[in-house]
Amino acid sequence: MNITVCVKRVPDTATRIRIADDGRGIMQDGVKYVLSPYDEFAVEAALQLVEAAGEGQVTLLSYGPPATAETLRSGLALGAHRAVLLTGEPDMDGWATAQVLASELAGSDDALVLFGIKAVDDDQQQVGPMVAELLGRPCATAVAAMDVEGGVATCRRAVEGGQEVVEMDLPAVATVTKGRYEPRYASLRGIMMAKRKPLVEKPAPEVESGLVVEALTYPPERPDGRIVGEGVDAVAELVRLLREEAKVL
Amino acid sequence: MMADVLAVAEVRDGVVRSVSREVVSAARGIADSLRGAVDVAAAGGTGCGAAAAGLGRHGADRVLAVEVAAQVDVRATAVAELARAGSYGAVVFAATGPGRDLAPRVAARLASPLLTDVVALDVDGGQIVATRPVFAGKALARVRALGAPALLSIRPNVFGVADSPREARVEAVSPPAEAETGYRVGGFEASAGAALDVAEAAIVVSGGRGMKDPENWHILEDLRDALGDTAALGASRAVVDAGWRPHAEQVGQTGKTVTPKLYLAMAISGAIQHLAGMRTSGVIVAVNRDPDAPIFGVADYGIVGDVFAVAQALAAAVRELRNS
Ligand SMILES: Cc1cc2nc3c(=O)[nH]c(=O)nc-3n(C[C@H](O)[C@H](O)[C@H](O)COP(=O)(O)OP(=O)(O)OC[C@H]3O[C@@H](n4cnc5c(N)ncnc54)[C@H](O)[C@@H]3O)c2cc1C
């Protein structure tokens, strides 16, 4: 069973975000880029599913700047077999990204296309289901665990108040969230082998964006808070403030 | 001119979810700027139209009721057909779990971009300009949607509910032809005590590693109960990674971003990834025994002290207040 995992290169979550002088992007110096954390769950899910099937290949697919090649190597080091990089500059328009990815996936007969539930930069939670629509395949989102048998993927979705079980006929698409899959660490051997695994780079097709980012700003500073006091003695005053000053009780 | 706005309601078990009132209120705001009408898309089980009729109070002129299976791909087809049939300048969803599942499918069917998790809206030159958090709230992006309709989902608890009462006409629309989609919903397993999603709660009681043991959560559960039925539990990632609480409760960059009116951080240090998920809350209270904990940097009110004693005293004080 072959699986493609679509992954994105994003700033490390510990990065302080500084807005660039043009006010529309972020400053690049000092920003460490990583594989988006939720994509790590998707890669782990793919590796486990292929291991369970006893055969098959995991392909990583990304749309991003040339430096994304490094990020893909880090995914290959985890055990993925090959990678494809569509070079270009994705913007916030997930629909444009979905069209780019689908152009590559249309020619693939992989049983599954997996995504992380969201990329932690734009945080839109949309490219996976959009790609599924473009490919005309069923899609389960927020999948915490998945099993494949007899051409059917049984997914446990993390939904409000519990888990929903969904069955999909393959080929299918899913977005993966935290659950069964604990991302593995790359072994030294994995890192060495990754250098020799195939990584194809080609320019992404031109797709027009339907969105314009006009400005990035910092969130408003929170007004200075105060320490109400120490221990249980401060509770009465806290409740009074929440009621009379903040008016939330 | 695409002046009307389609507000997509969430109807569950015959009841319109309260977030839909915010969706309609936001849609009314856009429609007033565009000088158009507000239609509600109520795609759900039997009686969904009647259930949604009350949305007239918040500015809905018409409810388009399509009785379909609750399954997301079927609902997406129904909503996309409604969106295509009108001349809408905007289609507004809720950025809830179901809304995030539904909206991108509708967007793809309409070949349109989608702005998720919008926290502010403007209409400028007939186009929608939305503000939304990026990098988990470390920055805000002002984004213009070039095409129409502009599709967006709004973050719960941000826009609020506004009254703009009118009699909403309910029109039944026949459901799209049934097709085999290869997607089947099987069972549902409820997890204990998580009726209200942390991202939708008006009050969040969040616990961190300083709670020491999952056995101690009854203290936070009791505080949540004291705060009423709009309160929900949240958690830091340390607690989720330790297996003490489900990931559904995790607040932060790799969990949920929340905007309650009151956020209580109980024994949470305030790591950058946690702050990203809760710093836009209305009022933040922190309880931590370390006076230098970074969480105090964003808290409006802090108590330095032992979380267990303070949480219990706080629950008691809130109950006393509610009973007086
Ligand atoms: C890729 C990535 C993504 C991440 N995403 C998230 C995320 O989404 N959400 C998130 O929360 N974190 C996230 N983190 C983790 C984050 O960096 C922190 O490790 C985590 O938030 C710490 O959780 P904590 O505050 O509960 O624990 P700690 O940092 O251990 O803090 C415990 C606090 O409890 C206090 N305390 C202890 N005992 C008591 C007591 N008896 N009374 C009062 N106070 C007490 C201590 O003073 C301390 O401040 C992420 C990290 C990475 C690398």
Is A217 part of any domain? no
Cα–Cα distance measured from residue B235 to residue B248, given in angstroms and rounded to the nearest whole number? 9
Binary contact (A211, B185; C-beta < 8 A): no
How far away is chain A from the Cα of B167, in angstroms, using its nearest Cα?
32
Residues of chain A with C-beta less than 8 angstroms from the C-beta of B154: none
Binary contact (A93, B113; C-beta < 8 A): yes
Asked whether the CA dihedral A100, A101, A102, A108 is positive or negative, the reply is positive
Cα–Cα distance measured from residue A143 to residue A128, given in angstroms and rounded to the nearest whole number? 12
Instruction: Report the CATH architecture of B203-323.
Output: 3-Layer(aba) Sandwich (3.40)
Binary contact (B185, A238; C-beta < 8 A): no
Cα–Cα distance measured from residue A119 to residue A105, given in angstroms and rounded to the nearest whole number? 19
Cis amide prior to A219 (ω within 30 degrees):
no
Superfamily of the domain at B4-172: HUPs (3.40.50.620)
Q: Rounded to the nearest whole angstrom, what is the distance from the C-alpha of residue B289 to the centroid of ligand 1?
A: 13
Whether A93 has its CB under 8 Å from any CB of chain B: the answer is: yes
Which residues are registered as beta bridge partners of A143? A157, A176
Cα–Cα distance measured from residue A118 to residue A99, given in angstroms and rounded to the nearest whole number? 17
Pocket of ligand 1 (CB under 6 A): A 13, 37; B 208-210, 236-239, 250-255, 267-269, 271, 273-274, 277, 288-290, 293, 306-307
Cα–Cα distance measured from residue B23 to residue B239, given in angstroms and rounded to the nearest whole number? 33
pTM over 0.95: no
Mean pLDDT, range B179-203, rounded to an integer: 86
Q: Are strands B127-134 and B120-124 parallel, antiparallel or unpaired?
A: antiparallel
In this predicted structure, the answer to whether residue B188 has a pLDDT above a threshold of 80 is yes
Q: Residue A117's pLDDT is what?
A: 97
In this predicted structure, the answer to whether residue B193 has a pLDDT above a threshold of 70 is no
CB nearest A219 (choices: B73, B279, B301): B279
At residue B163, φ and ψ (nearest 5 deg) are -95, 135
Residue B47 falls in which region: left (phi positive, over 0), alpha (psi -120 to 50) or beta: left
Is A220 part of any domain? no
In this predicted structure, the answer to whether residue B194 has a pLDDT above a threshold of 90 is no
pLDDT tens digits, residue range B272-322? Answer: 999 999 998 999 999 999 999 999 999 999 999 999 999 999 999 999 999
How far away is chain A from the Cα of B226, in angstroms, using its nearest Cα?
11
Q: Is A103 exposed, middle or buried (0-12, 13-18, 19+ CB in 10 A)?
A: middle
Q: Are A27 and A93 in contact (CB under 8 A)?
A: no
Q: Which domain holds residue A81?
A: 3-203
Q: Which two tokens stand for residue B307?
A: 């979380």
pLDDT tens digits, residue range A18-70? Answer: 999 999 999 999 999 999 999 999 999 999 999 999 999 999 999 999 999 99
Q: Which chain B residue is nearest to residue A139, measuring alpha carbons?
A: B183
- Report the CATH number at residue A166: 3.40.50.620
Interface test with B, best of A31, A232, A233 (most B CBs within 10 A): A232
Is A135 part of any domain? yes
Cα–Cα distance measured from residue B270 to residue B284, given in angstroms and rounded to the nearest whole number? 12
Cα–Cα distance measured from residue B39 to residue A222, given in angstroms and rounded to the nearest whole number? 37
Binary contact (A17, B109; C-beta < 8 A): no
Q: Residue B206's pLDDT is what?
A: 98
Binary contact (B191, A144; C-beta < 8 A): no
Is A103 part of any domain? yes
Q: How many structural domains are present in chain A?
A: 1
Is A178 part of any domain? yes
Asked if B4-172 and B203-323 have one fold, the answer is yes
Tell me the domain boundaries of chain B: 4-172, 203-323
Residue A203 is given by DSSP the state: E
Is A237 part of any domain? no
Helices (H) and strands (E) in chain B, counts: 8, 18
Is A225 part of any domain? no
Residues of chain B with C-beta less than 8 angstroms from the C-beta of A219: 133, 137-140, 279-280
Q: Residue A155's pLDDT is what?
A: 98
Whether B284 has its CB under 8 Å from any CB of chain A: the answer is: yes
Q: Which chain A residue is nearest to residue B113, measuring alpha carbons?
A: A95
DSSP of A216-240: EEPPPPPPP-EEEEEGGGGHHHHHH
Weakly modelled stretches of chain A, pLDDT under 70: none
Under DSSP, is residue B94 helix (H, G, I), strand (E, B) or coil? strand
